[in-house]
Structure 1
Amino acid sequence: MNKNPANFVPLSPISFLHRTADIYADYPSVVYEDRSYTWSESRERCVRIASSLKDYGIKTGDTVSVLAFNTPEMFESHFSIPMAGAILNTINIRLDAATIAYIFDDSNAKMLFVDRELFSVASEALSIASVSPKIVVINDSFAESQPDVSSDITDYESLVMDGDPLYDWQMPDDEWSPLSLSYTSGTTGKPKGVVYHHRGSYLMSMGTVIGWNLPNHPVYLYSVPLFHCNGWGHAWTMAALAGTIICLRSFAPEKVFSLLDQHNVTHFGGAPIMLNMLANAPKEIQKSFTREVKVMTAGAPPPAKVLEGMMSLGFNVMHVYGLTETYGHILQAAPQASWLNKNPAELAKLSSRQGVRFPMTEDVSVIDQETGRHVPHNGEAIGEIVIRCNTCMMGYWNNPEATEEAFADGWFHSGDLAVIYADGYIQIKDRSKDIIISGGENISSVEVENVLYQHSAVGEAAVVAMPDETWGEVPCAFVELKSNQQASEKELIEFCKNNMAKFKRPKKVVFGPLPKTATGKIQKHELRASVKNLGEK
């Protein structure tokens, strides 16, 4: 028995768009400020753009880069570019010109879609880069700035107008062919290009539907940047469910609360830092909801206090875990019926764990980094999270050595240190590079951060290792206080001392804003660099 066209069709998430446009043609697909489209309209726009890409000479396997915000154009790129056979490369909008230039060159970008507000940094990057991609500008009247652009540069809407609505787009011949290329943050060197295939993104969407218990026609606020792990794949997931996507150009608590209310949003996602901003927003802009609003959060382990605050506003928060290399989430803090008997603080603590594997995830284990053996399920033994599943990357673009290292011994090695509890739920304790070894004792920076978040004046906190002549290294806390709140270094150190093992308390507290990535993750590498001269003498 052999594969044939009747019994085997390559899996690709672009098929979701076409099914939904056929069946739910008039349902709203994308809403952004004063613009809205139906699924039929979204499909036609994507088909036309794919046609125009071919007319401009884009071939199968070429890279098309996108430097844009969460607007309809960014959503459409997740379908139009793959429908032309090209590889979608979304770029972090917060990167500097030199890093963007490196990505252009490493990916060999043939075309660039760029939001006009970002045209200046894109132009600077192109002046450094070796490649010269065709530029297409996205004009948005809601942009904060409108830099001058040469009249001979192609406008995005012209791709729509000039494209053929009857263009015969093709499914990939091989479901294991590249769909997208996402670059890591590059905090320890040059960013690495992570390659996703069509099969993995299809299965990620299906696993998300089951794991998040998604219904047909959800209303989804796209607050997760679409340049980050392709927005956790939710553009494709919402297409599969004929959902309505509410675009959010930039994150601001007042705007988020307004959109949640205005559009009767049912689901949204965001990093814990975003949830913290919502939970600590001024009371006059906060809104609570009697209807259930489901929230998916992923990133640094969320403090239980933040989850508790979100729950008090009527949000049903599910914590998930993943990496760029795993297409996003592969673990979830799946709620159990027995948790309903817990008080809010206990429930938040259980929900802050990274959890158990998603339906599309074959195996996630925690192994001892020295012996390679699985750690006992006692909530104490620390090991590295390793993963096997169809939503692991194909590999690193142009980097076989790093790919081989990441997949050593038949596992993807995450670099995250965690424990497993008796109930099988995994909880991260730290990144390998973030664990603090003080006098031979391991101190989890996440544990110290969680205690700091319990203090009523603490808005955001991050803990890193600080050199110490006696102990080798000790915890140093960086704290951003809530608006109109005060706390001294002595007070916070004493608070930690009274709420955890004495030796784990921070030895120094530095106050001020914390550096963050565009996805809201606190940049610990910057904090580590700043403490080199803070150690005790």
Structure 2
Amino acid sequence: MAIEHQLSAEAGSKFNQLCALRSNDIADEACSHVRAFPLLNQAATLAPNVPATHELHFAVPMTGAVLWTLNARLDSAMLSVLLLSHSEARIVFVDYQLLEIAQGTLDLLTQKTDTKPPILVLIAVSEGSSDTSPTICTSNTYEYGSLLETGDGGFEIRRPRSEWDPISVNYTSGTTPRPKGYRGAYLNALSTVLLHGIGSMPVYLWTVSMFHCNGWCLTWGVAAQGGTNICLRKVNPKHIFDNIVQYNVTHMGGAPTVLNMIVNSPVSDWRPLPRKVEIMTGGSPPMPQIVFRMEELGFGVNQLYGLTESYGPGTYCSLKPEWDSLPSIEGSKLKARQGVQHLGLEEVDIKDPVTMESVTPDGNTVGEIMLRGNTVMSGWLGSGDLAVKHPDNYIDRSEGPVERYNHIRGREHKYS
């Protein structure tokens, strides 16, 4: 099930029943307007972390379509390029707060091509919110909730022909002038559950954007474990602590900026946690001091590393019991490393990108992180990220050795 922050009612009943209902309704109504919703057709979302976004991660694939999760932080110009040049989506689900950007995108599409613009489905204000939904008066626009009420409960789910069929398309976070698209298959989209240690019936707080690698694949992973999803439109420390206490949250995730936001927030925002909350963090390496302060607040920090091309997380810092007996800062330094590959990857190594030879695992020799396995593209993936490998085979992207390398070579390298 999915619950939106500050709403009194749940978004639906049991999760599987809810997803089946959403799939039936969305597929039937979409079919009636575009004549067909054939296998490998495209549907896009432009929305923050709200229950509808989570529901569409199931409903769209269940119609046989591929889900395109558009970055809600892009402007109309970039979105029009992605929709026109890449997805050719025939239906776009848009949150009411992003309607102006979406309409600007569709206007640009109309100017650039004679192709009929996609159907726009508005995700309106949730019941209990003080906001007001915008008014739209076009024949090619529908409202999400009303659309579901007209669906066919007898719609038959269109299942994938094989595990290699695409389920979604995601974009890199934009470190290059134009984001690069990545197509993900049904195969191996659940490895994050294993490396996050998610047991049955978790309560997951959504502080990772669902348009980033499908929320690191936990849109599906939490459901696979029968969990509850707590959706946040906007991430701030007070909402994080309030929701953890209200819903007894077990897991969450976020970039180091989220951790920094939490530990540097006013003490008045803090609340005693009802239990230890496991938080996955990835992106740029967190400072050991931040890891230490998060643990003081009652969080268990799990460091990850990955890319859009690897379904999100590809490695994790597997914690060792003996680290608990070390001085706090020393233990935090070990926990801030990017660690070893998860079970879905065959191999992760640090290599010289020219010779493709493995670097010496001495914690000092810098090379490029490369990954191979089911959750990456064919062959080796050269990540472009610099790191070292320690004698215990844990990889480490901390700034010290990488900065020394860049200083010696006279180059600048930014974390992806």
Q: What TM-score comes out, normalization by structure 2 length?
A: 0.90
Q: Secondary structure at the match of 2:376?
A: coil
Work out the CA distance in 1 between the residues paired with 2:188 and 2:194: 15
Q: 2:94 aligns with which of 100, 114, 123?
A: 114
Work out the CA distance in 2 between the residues paired with 1:439 and 1:317: 33
Work out the CA distance in 1 between the residues paired with 2:305 and 2:212: 14
The answer to whether structure 1 residue 68 and structure 2 residue 47 are counterparts is yes
Work out the CA distance in 1 between the residues paired with 2:2 and 2:409: 54
Tell whether the 8 Å contact from 1:54 to 1:84 is kept in structure 2 after alignment.
Answer: no
The CA deviation at 1:435 is 8.5
* Aligned equivalent of 1:241: 225
Tell whether the 8 Å contact from 2:287 to 2:336 is kept in structure 1 after alignment.
Answer: yes
Work out the CA distance in 1 between the residues paired with 2:404 and 2:23: 46
Code of the residue aligned with 2:387 in structure 1: it is A
Work out the CA distance in 1 between the residues paired with 2:177 and 2:89: 21
Q: Secondary structure at the match of 1:109?
A: coil
Q: 2:386 aligns with which of 417, 421, 424?
A: 417
* Aligned equivalent of 2:150: 162
- Show CA shifts across 1:259-284 (max 9, x none): 11111111111111011101111001
* Aligned equivalent of 1:487: none
Code of the residue aligned with 1:411 in structure 2: it is W
The CA deviation at 1:292 is 1.2
- Show CA shifts across 1:231-254 (max 9, x none): 011110111110011111111111
Tell whether the 8 Å contact from 2:89 to 2:118 is kept in structure 1 after alignment.
Answer: yes
Equivalent residues in 2 for 1:63-462, closer than 5 Å = 63-105=42-84, 106-129=86-109, 130=113, 131=115, 132-141=117-126, 142=129, 146-150=133-137, 152=139, 153-201=141-189, 205=190, 207-289=191-273, 291-393=275-377, 410-429=379-398, 437-438=406-407, 440=409
Change (3 A) 1:304 1:439: closer
Code of the residue aligned with 1:137 in structure 2: it is L
Code of the residue aligned with 1:79 in structure 2: it is F
- Show CA shifts across 1:451-479 (max 9, x none): xxxxxxxxxxxxxxxxxxxxxxxxxxxxx
Work out the CA distance in 1 between the residues paired with 2:107 and 2:410: 50
Q: Which has the larger radius of gyration?
A: 1
The CA deviation at 1:441 is 5.8
Q: Secondary structure at the match of 2:383?
A: strand
Q: Secondary structure at the match of 1:199?
A: coil
Q: Secondary structure at the match of 1:260?
A: helix
Change (3 A) 1:124 1:145: farther
The CA deviation at 1:335 is 0.2
Code of the residue aligned with 1:136 in structure 2: it is V
Q: CA RMSD in A?
A: 2.1
Code of the residue aligned with 1:258 in structure 2: it is D
Work out the CA distance in 1 between the residues paired with 2:371 and 2:413: 22
The CA deviation at 1:145 is 6.4
Identity of aligned residues (%): 36
Q: Secondary structure at the match of 1:181?
A: strand
Work out the CA distance in 1 between the residues paired with 2:412 and 2:176: 22
Gaps of at least 5 residues in structure 1 are 1-28, 394-406, 447-520, 522-537
The CA deviation at 1:318 is 0.3
Work out the CA distance in 2 between the residues paired with 1:392 and 1:171: 23
Work out the CA distance in 1 between the residues paired with 2:91 and 2:29: 12
* Aligned equivalent of 1:491: none
Work out the CA distance in 2 between the residues paired with 1:422 and 1:334: 15
Change (3 A) 1:178 1:295: same
Q: Secondary structure at the match of 1:380?
A: coil
Tell whether the 8 Å contact from 2:217 to 2:311 is kept in structure 1 after alignment.
Answer: yes
Work out the CA distance in 1 between the residues paired with 2:83 and 2:130: 24
Q: Secondary structure at the match of 1:376?
A: coil
Work out the CA distance in 1 between the residues paired with 2:264 and 2:203: 24
The CA deviation at 1:429 is 4.8
The CA deviation at 1:317 is 0.8
Change (3 A) 1:124 1:34: same
* Aligned equivalent of 2:3: 31
Work out the CA distance in 2 between the residues paired with 1:426 and 1:187: 22
Tell whether the 8 Å contact from 1:333 to 1:355 is kept in structure 2 after alignment.
Answer: yes
